[in-house]
């Protein structure tokens, strides 16, 4: 039986990620690029036209890591540590897949990621949050919409793409929880505070259009094929109100997501519950979600969100 080349196994691995793991198209493109770089390097290193499983050794992986650390492109001296880690994460995932097929490969778990400096997370303090949420003034549709957007982003920790894709049918105004599809098609339960519920109710009550999208444009443009707000438009709305609120930090929708998590943690929520509320996966070769019951998550949300420290 002919031994499959690494390129052939790589293609099978990408198909597995797409079909079985439901990974995002961008992830597939990145993994394809990272693994292609490894296979091209290995072919050159061992001086073969096409490498196979037998060519994979602990020593060649060690030398590949040295290569990644020293590689230089035009206008670029080496790869950033985080970019090197992305290459290794893809390689570990590939090796795990191949190992599950019963083929002998170096142990993926022994391939450690390099130490990288963590990027400092930007979040808003309580006083800044209150100023931001109070920025949309008046009762016109745009103001009511913007207030609802800000309240929901902070109340739920939604990613901006998740918020932009919401439809009216996702919500029941008598219920403070709903389901959202996150990265990798994973669904999770999200909860709204009373303030967010009220802001959303006031906005939807005044809407007269029949568009299915939860958040829409209320002024005509050249392209009226869709009223749904784009991710970029939501970003501009957040920027606009952070400026109006006098906040000097560089604020994005994701800043509100960080602020949501920080608010919970500062008030005593455990890290595993916060990971579940955010729909976070760990940085590893496979997505690992925390598994906590929806009921427990709701209790965590109600107990800790938007409460001053020590407040019962």
- What is the secondary structure of 38-106 as a DSSP string? HHHHHHHHHT-SS-BGGG--HHHHHHHHHHHHH--BTTB-S--HHHHHHHHHHHHHHHHHHHHTT----
Query: Do residue 142 and residue 282 come from a single domain?
Result: yes
Tokens representing residue 160 in the block: 């901006």
Query: Do residue 224 and residue 104 come from a single domain?
Result: no
User: Closest Cα to residue 302, out of 228, 150, 187, 197?
Assistant: 197
Identify whether 311 is part of a domain.
no
Query: Do residue 77 and residue 218 come from a single domain?
Result: no
- Element containing residue 301 per DSSP (H, E): helix 294-304
Identify whether 220 is part of a domain.
yes
Q: Are 183 and 279 in contact (CB under 8 A)?
A: yes
Last residue of a domain, one of 84, 110, 136: 110
Q: Are 256 and 124 in contact (CB under 8 A)?
A: yes
Q: Is 254 a catalytic residue?
A: yes
Identify whether 51 is part of a domain.
yes
Q: Is 65 a catalytic residue?
A: no
Last residue of a domain, one of 79, 110, 141: 110
CA distance 157 to 261: 7
Query: Do residue 42 and residue 83 come from a single domain?
Result: yes
> What is the full per-residue pLDDT of the chain (312 aa) written as tens digits?
567 888 999 999 999 988 888 787 888 899 999 999 999 998 988 888 888 888 888 888 888 888 888 764 544 556 777 788 888 899 989 888 988 888 888 787 777 776 655 555 678 888 999 999 999 999 999 999 999 999 999 999 899 999 999 999 888 777 788 888 877 678 888 999 999 999 999 999 999 999 999 999 987 665 556 799 999 999 999 999 999 999 988 899 988 988 888 887 777 777 778 778 887 664 232 222 233 334 455 666 777 777 766 665
Choose, from 63, 181, 254, 258, the residue flagged as catalytic: 254
pLDDT at position 225: 63
Choose, from 37, 92, 280, 306, the residue flagged as catalytic: 280
Q: Is 183 a catalytic residue?
A: yes
Query: Do residue 288 and residue 198 come from a single domain?
Result: yes
CA distance 61 to 55: 10
Q: What is the pTM of this model?
A: 0.60
Q: Is 33 a catalytic residue?
A: no
Query: Do residue 163 and residue 257 come from a single domain?
Result: yes
**C-alpha dihedral sign at 130, 132, 200, 276:** negative
Q: Are 281 and 263 in contact (CB under 8 A)?
A: no
Query: Do residue 160 and residue 219 come from a single domain?
Result: yes
CATH of residue 87: 1.10.150.130
Q: Is 257 a catalytic residue?
A: yes
Tokens representing residue 123 in the block: 């979040």
Identify whether 119 is part of a domain.
no
pLDDT at position 170: 84
pLDDT at position 215: 95
Q: Is 64 a catalytic residue?
A: no
**C-alpha dihedral sign at 261, 262, 266, 271:** positive
Choose, from 10, 257, 301, 305, the residue flagged as catalytic: 257
pLDDT at position 213: 94
Identify whether 186 is part of a domain.
yes
| Domain, as residue range, for 34 | 6-110
User: Closest Cα to residue 93, out of 69, 115, 109?
Assistant: 109
pLDDT at position 296: 52
Residues contacting residue 182 through CB under 8 Å, at least 6 positions apart: 159, 162, 188, 279
> What is the domain count for the chain?
2
């Amino acid at each position: 039986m002919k031994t499959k080349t690494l390129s052939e196994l790589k293609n099978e691995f990408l198909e597995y990620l797409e079909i079985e793991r439901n990974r995002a198209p961008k992830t597939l493109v990145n993994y394809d690029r990272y693994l292609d770089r490894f296979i091209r390097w290995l072919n050159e290193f061992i001086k073969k036209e096409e490498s196979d499983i037998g060519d994979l050794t602990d020593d060649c992986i060690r030398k590949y890591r040295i290569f990644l650390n020293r590689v230089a492109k035009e206008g670029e001296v080496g790869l950033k540590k985080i970019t090197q880690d992305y290459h290794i994460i893809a390689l570990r995932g590939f090796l795990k897949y191949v190992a599950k097929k019963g083929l002998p490969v170096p142990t993926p778990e022994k391939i450690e990621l390099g130490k990288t400096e963590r990027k400092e997370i930007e979040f808003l303090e309580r006083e800044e949050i209150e100023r931001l949420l109070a920025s949309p003034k008046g009762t016109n549709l745009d103001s009511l919409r913007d207030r609802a957007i800000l309240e929901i982003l902070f109340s739920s920790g939604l990613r901006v793409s998740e918020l932009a894709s919401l439809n009216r049918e996702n919500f029941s105004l008598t219920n403070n929880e709903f389901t959202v599809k996150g990265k990798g098609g994973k669904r999770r339960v999200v909860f709204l505070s009373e303030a967010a519920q009220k802001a959303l109710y006031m906005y939807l009550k005044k809407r007269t259009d029949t568009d299915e999208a939860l958040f829409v444009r209320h002024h005509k443009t050249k392209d009226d094929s869709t009223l749904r707000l784009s991710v970029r438009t939501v970003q501009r709305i957040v920027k606009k109100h952070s400026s109006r609120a006098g906040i000097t930090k560089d604020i994005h929708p994701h800043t509100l997501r960080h602020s949501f998590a920080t608010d919970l943690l500062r008030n005593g929520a455990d890290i595993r519950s916060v990971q579940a509320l955010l729909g976070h996966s760990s940085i590893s070769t496979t997505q690992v979600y925390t598994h906590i019951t929806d009921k427990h998550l709701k209790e965590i949300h109600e107990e800790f969100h938007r409460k001053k420290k020590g407040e019962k």
